[in-house]
Amino acid sequence: MRWIEVEPAGPLNGCVHIPGSKNSSLALLAAASLADGLVTLEGIPNIDDVKLIAQIGKDIGLTITRRPSGEIVLDPRYIHSAIIDPGKASAYRASYYFAGALLAKFGRVTVGFPGGDNFVSRPIDQHMKAFQALGATVEFREDHYIVEAKTLRGADIYFDTVTSGATINAILAAVRAQGRTNLYHAAVDPEVVDTAAFLNGLGARIYGAGTDRIRIEGVPYLNGGRHTVIPDRLVAGAFLMSAGITGGTVTVKDVIPEHLGACIAKLSEAGLEMKWDENSITARSTGQIRATRVRATMYPGFATDLQQPMTALLTQAKGKSIVTERVYPNRFNHVPQLRRMGAEIEVRGESAFIHGGRPLVGDWVHATDVRAGTCLVLAGLAAEGCTRITGVEHLERGYEDVIGSFRALGAKLSLHEGETERDGRAAGMA
């Protein structure tokens, strides 16, 4: 068993350089399959999800090489298969991007059902709706699905709900379809814009990314090219929250403040002093966290991936806070773990009611997904005594070096491995 130990260390202070976006990187790496030449991506974080994509790439003939400089070079010219191993596909959510990226080239793609963080279910119906609108058929099997189309033709696609993943997948499939595709009720997330910018750099013709209507004019081929991934707004937001929960001052650098507008506003509302310039944001504790109401929704609203660490921060606010989850209503697996540490939180429907101001006490807790892990690290920083977090693999999916990054701010985090008398108890929390 592996676990992270978090010990009290007082206020966190200092600067953190933010890596490339995990969510954008996963889309870009799959999107590179559409190209007909070499692709170089800069800023891709060295995390477990990216390593898994490299394994999938090896299976299908997509060569992925990380240079000593950190940039990744992809060679899609010798892709020979469009069958994504169900076991590997189920290990991370973004496996579905390979369906959109490979469909135009091969006419038939087999992909295992998406995995990654489990919030009861991650529906892919809007992805399938987009493929079918473009002329594909979809067949569901026990552990995988098959998307097939002799020819993809442009179409008008109206999403029933705002979904970043399905918007990106529809773009991937439409880029090499014949004719024009219009996406309505499209997601406006920075990751959608980043993927479109990357593809346009290769020769795609995508217009309107960043608005709720996107137009794609199909092209017969794409060149190679170079692209730098956007910064990870979700990692940045969590570090800003660490200033509030510990009473310190933290600056995140190499960010795009516009991508964190809702987070900045909500942290200001919660009592932090926020300052920013062109590529950095500073959060300074004023000594008191104020209770507030948070509603997690699609961009440009408050990000669902910041809902969990925000819940940890609000345990320190005197009074009652309410956190409502509108994207994944069941995304409250972190709440029982916070309760183990002494937090008073009640979940009713899609809302968590937090009675804050009660001291947290370190205990054995389990991270069920990457953002829940971030939440528990923040809670551990504010708790009395030592907090031990299992489920380390989830944090490694989203952070290149979570321990080193927090240590650079003065936190006391350490990774441990072995057997302890608490193994059974910790395993039971999974």
Instruction: Say which amino acid occupies 415.
Output: L
Q: Is 271 left (phi over 0), alpha (psi -120 to 50) or beta?
A: left
User: Quick check: 112 and 137 in contact, CB under 8 A?
Assistant: no
> In 135-219, which residue ranges form alpha helices assigned H by DSSP?
164-174, 190-202
d(CA 100, CA 171): 8
**Closest Cα partner for 248 from 289, 283, 292?**
283
Which residues make up each annotated binding site for phosphoenolpyruvate? 22-23
d(CA 85, CA 111): 7
**SS3 letters for 55-72?**
HHHHHHCCEEEECCCCCE
Could you tell me how far CA 112 lies from the centroid of its own chain? Answer: 20
d(CA 53, CA 17): 24
**Closest Cα partner for 204 from 100, 315, 313?**
100
The residues that bridge with 290 in the sheet, in sequence order, are 318
194 catalytic per annotation: no
Q: How many C-beta neighbours within 10 Å does residue 217 have?
A: 15
Which residues make up each annotated binding site for UDP-N-acetyl-alpha-D-glucosamine? 93, 122-126, 305, 327
The active-site residue out of 48, 75, 117, 189 is 117
Report the catalytic residues. Answer: 117
